[in-house]
Amino acid sequence: MIKKFFVTGTDTNVGKTIISSILLKKATAAGYKTAGYKPVSSGYQNTSCSILNNDAVTLKKSSSIILSTKEINPISFFENAPPHILSIFKKKNIKTEELSLGLKNITNKSNWILVEGAGGWYTPLSYKDTFSNWVKQEKLTVIIIIPIKLGCINHAILTEKAIISENIKCGGWIANNIFPKDKYNIYYIQTLLSYIKSPFLGEVPYLKNKNKINFKKIKIKLPE
């Protein structure tokens, strides 16, 4: 059975890529043939040999099957801005057919696929379509990444309600400590547990060095 998930956040810069890499490694350890997929990206990093999107590089390294960067990230923009705006400036339409074709290609090679979105749930791909439309079309199970910070409770409740209102399965949520823990963190999570009905998959501690992560020590569960 092929499992396909879509990782979204309550906002941008909430740790989607880092947590996606941890989930991919845990799924690999569980015996799956894993693949990360970043259909649309914006913002590049310079490497010794080329210019690549950092999220795509991380997903590629975290996948158990060998994929080219183009397979993992078919649509990319150099600047760091909303993809639909960059598509207008660059005269490069984001076509959902291209996203689906890339997903189909990866599905033929693996049985556990993690698709990472861009920004939050309703990130636009154009003035007509959002990522959520494509997720519904592809019948992907959603995982919500919630950064533990001021404002996260309201954003998390709104995000889950939006997903469920579109009859999309929410496979669970993960609390991400993007700042060092303080006395309020536990209360944030307790409140989220009271309001978020989807399964709680676990909590990621504050990661001071994101380049040295022992995924085995991070207690998050794989979604069903």
| Active site (catalytic) residues | 38
Q: Which residue has the tokens 């929410």?
A: 170
Strand partners for 3: 112
Alpha-carbon span 201 to 219, nearest angstrom: 9
Q: Which of 111, 97, 132 is nearest to 27 (CA)?
A: 111
Are 86 and 42 in contact, with CB atoms under 8 Å apart?
yes
Q: What are phi and psi of 35, to 5 degrees?
A: -150, 130
E strand intervals along the chain = 3-9, 34-37, 40-42, 45-46, 51-52, 75-77, 112-120, 141-147, 170-176, 200-204
Are 96 and 129 in contact, with CB atoms under 8 Å apart?
yes
Q: Which residues contact 6 (CB under 8 A, 6 or more apart)?
A: 115, 116, 117, 135, 138, 140, 141, 142, 143
Q: Which of 32, 27, 19 is nearest to 58 (CA)?
A: 19
